[in-house]
A and B are shown apart, each in its own frame.
Chain A
């Protein structure tokens, strides 16, 4: 990936470390957010994503490393003097102030003159369609309305980077979907870089330009949603993003095709990866939708035999569970189209399933950022220098 934008990144983290007592909350995190990018920090709770965000906001000070905003080192700058603004998880609206005063809070503490303040306030209220509610207090608003106030309050300050800490987590499913859409449109319109913290992989995949998957304080993998989904480099990422089937084994051969021998003796032909060495213990990840039933005509690179245990109807798709000879259960997802070969999928029947080399991904068992991804990210972070 040689794609580089001119000038410094909007936000850059260099080897940032933060400990709380004996807990290593953020462990040498480095990242670079490009201007206008929607960048998500994705991971389970306690993975360090929120702490990373708070380090950027200035609520916490790193034990080591540097944070740069548009090229300036802000590691020691107090939060009020950082050109970043935050949308808090529970919005943190000021209960004693009206919608208008909440939105204008940051403007009134800036050096803007009165005309600019009111102009930006009006624009901000209009952007999130809050004109009607401007004299209400936060407690008189619905969850979605509060969310919009929080967004407007942060955005009117025109920060270099907007930080969002699970901003949709408190909303119900339907509203969340609607707000996702609104958020994405808003971000494209204002063109401000977003750093978005979430534990919801679907949300991250939908919204982000790039995603950093975190666990145990470290970024395990960083990339576009499709890279993360299609080319996970670790077992953790493959497992966390979407559903998958795992086959454990030893690397037998490397090259254009990586060959992995599973414990039950099956030989799996997989897409080649540079980090795998002969003899390594690895896992092979195969997405359920990549698996097909093998019919006479076309035989994919990998074919295994098993018995169909059960089928679940999922509306737009069907899910099958096949038990292999070594008692591994394989999950298969298939568009629910009526076809001639439908009788293959009879519960209790013997069935051959298979997938291509390209669909079999070798992932590292170690819960660390592996060389492949690390190398790629370093190129981006350091730039041409």
Chain B
């Protein structure tokens, strides 16, 4: 808190020049690329590398083809279920971490962070070993008689779901942890004291009060999942075509940059809608929560 106050004072005291690096960063790494994308998305491909620029809406019209809409739908579905999965696993974990972990808290935090030190690619590949039909999970489940045949989920949508949930779980846990940790614990006691049982207390007090954390976590996981490319390729056997794969294919293989740009713009629009919803629900606390989480 004191830190924030000091920063504000110095920002007022110093000229706006101090904001220049931030703006520069935004312009170079955000606005210019985005501008390129917008310009390309309104062009048409006339040869391998000849693009006719202008105000052609052909690419956007093409997006309405059911094939592409379906890809958006599938991607949205994966991101939504993946986000829900992260929330279902992340919430109890973050809750435990914030309230019960005690002296083990640092160790558990460490374990959440450690995978980040390894390449995403390697982490994702290692799931092939785990989910393999001859892998340890398959063996274990067969030995426990949970399944009678070898586990057959590698290179399916289930494997993709497991992969994205695994990869993005920490992004869900951190904001949730901050929100839960910050919540006044006496409010839970107050609710119990007023006759609400554990479940009702969770629904009426804990969830509403940690909603900003929930929304932040969902946004932080949903956004990258919408653009996911690596996990479906590796764990899905490249069989499920998501928006990310479509963009890569249009840009790299089909060499159709205008359409690739339009597909990306479609993704940008979907995410803008998600972010708008987020800001609406979380409101002014958004900045605070994102800041605390990141």
Asked whether any CB of A lies within 8 Å of a CB of B in the complex, the reply is yes
Interface, chain A (partner B; CB < 8 A): 57-59, 78-81, 84-86, 88, 90, 92-96, 105-106, 109-110, 153-154, 157
Contacts of A79 in B (CB 8 A): 189, 192-193
Contacts of A57 in B (CB 8 A): 189, 193
Q: Which of A58, A59, A153 contacts B194 (CB 8 A)?
A: A153
Q: Which 3 residue pairs spanning A and B have beta carbons closest together? A: A106-B194, A92-B190, A92-B186
Residue contact A90 to B195, C-beta cutoff 8 Å? no
Apart from A58-B192, A92-B184, A94-B191, 17 more pairs, CB < 8 Å:
A57-B193, A58-B193, A59-B189, A78-B192, A79-B192, A79-B193, A80-B197, A84-B193, A88-B186, A88-B189, A92-B189, A92-B190, A93-B190, A109-B195, A109-B196, A110-B195, A153-B194
Say whether, besides A95-B209, A96-B208, A109-B200, A80 and B192 are in contact (CB < 8 Å). Answer: yes
Of A85, A92, A110, chain B has the most CB atoms within 10 Å of the CB of A92
Contacts of B190 in A (CB 8 A): 86, 88, 92-94
Query: How many residues does chain B have at the interface if contact means C-beta atoms less than 8 Å apart?
Result: 17
How long is the Cα–Cα vector from A90 to B186 in the complex, in angstroms? 9
Which residue of chain B is the closest to A106 with respect to CB atoms? B194
How long is the Cα–Cα vector from A361 to B45 in the complex, in angstroms? 104
Residue contact B209 to A80, C-beta cutoff 8 Å? no
Say whether, besides A57-B189, A88-B190, A94-B190, A157 and B195 are in contact (CB < 8 Å). Answer: yes
Contacts of B204 in A (CB 8 A): 105
- Which parts of B177-219 form the interface with A (CB within 8 Å)? 184, 186-187, 189-197, 200, 204-205, 208-209
In the assembled complex, 14 residue pairs joining A and B whose CB atoms fall closer than 8 Å, in A order, are A57-B189, A58-B193, A79-B192, A88-B189, A92-B186, A94-B191, A96-B209, A105-B191, A105-B194, A106-B195, A106-B196, A154-B194, A157-B194, A157-B195
Which residue of chain B is the closest to A89 with respect to CB atoms? B186
How long is the Cα–Cα vector from A154 to B208 in the complex, in angstroms? 21
How long is the Cα–Cα vector from A269 to B209 in the complex, in angstroms? 64
How long is the Cα–Cα vector from A250 to B186 in the complex, in angstroms? 49
Chain A's interface: helix, strand, loop or mixed, by majority? loop
A205 → chain B closest CB, angstroms: 28
Contacts of A105 in B (CB 8 A): 191, 194, 196, 204
Which residue of chain B is the closest to A79 with respect to CB atoms? B192
Of A79, A154, A157, chain B has the most CB atoms within 10 Å of the CB of A79
Contacts of B205 in A (CB 8 A): 94
How long is the Cα–Cα vector from A92 to B189 in the complex, in angstroms? 9
How long is the Cα–Cα vector from A90 to B184 in the complex, in angstroms? 10
Which residue of chain A is the closest to B207 with respect to CB atoms? A96
Residue contact B194 to A85, C-beta cutoff 8 Å? yes
Residue contact B193 to A85, C-beta cutoff 8 Å? yes
Contacts of A88 in B (CB 8 A): 186, 189-190
Of A93, A94, A95, A153, chain B has the most CB atoms within 10 Å of the CB of A94
How long is the Cα–Cα vector from A96 to B29 in the complex, in angstroms? 39
Which residue of chain B is the closest to A90 with respect to CB atoms? B186
How long is the Cα–Cα vector from A95 to B184 in the complex, in angstroms? 10
B183 → chain A closest CB, angstroms: 10
Which residue of chain A is the closest to B205 with respect to CB atoms? A94
Which residue of chain B is the closest to A95 with respect to CB atoms? B209
How long is the Cα–Cα vector from A85 to B193 in the complex, in angstroms? 6
- Which parts of B105-129 form the interface with A (CB within 8 Å)? none
Contacts of B184 in A (CB 8 A): 90, 92
Contacts of A84 in B (CB 8 A): 193
B204 → chain A closest CB, angstroms: 8
A89 → chain B closest CB, angstroms: 8
How long is the Cα–Cα vector from A58 to B187 in the complex, in angstroms? 14
How long is the Cα–Cα vector from A80 to B194 in the complex, in angstroms? 6
Residue contact B194 to A109, C-beta cutoff 8 Å? yes
Which residue of chain A is the closest to B209 with respect to CB atoms? A96
How long is the Cα–Cα vector from A154 to B194 in the complex, in angstroms? 7
Contacts of A96 in B (CB 8 A): 208-209
Contacts of B197 in A (CB 8 A): 78, 80
Contacts of B196 in A (CB 8 A): 80, 105-106, 109
Contacts of B192 in A (CB 8 A): 58-59, 78-80
Which residue of chain A is the closest to B200 with respect to CB atoms? A109
A128 → chain B closest CB, angstroms: 16
Which residue of chain A is the closest to B184 with respect to CB atoms? A92
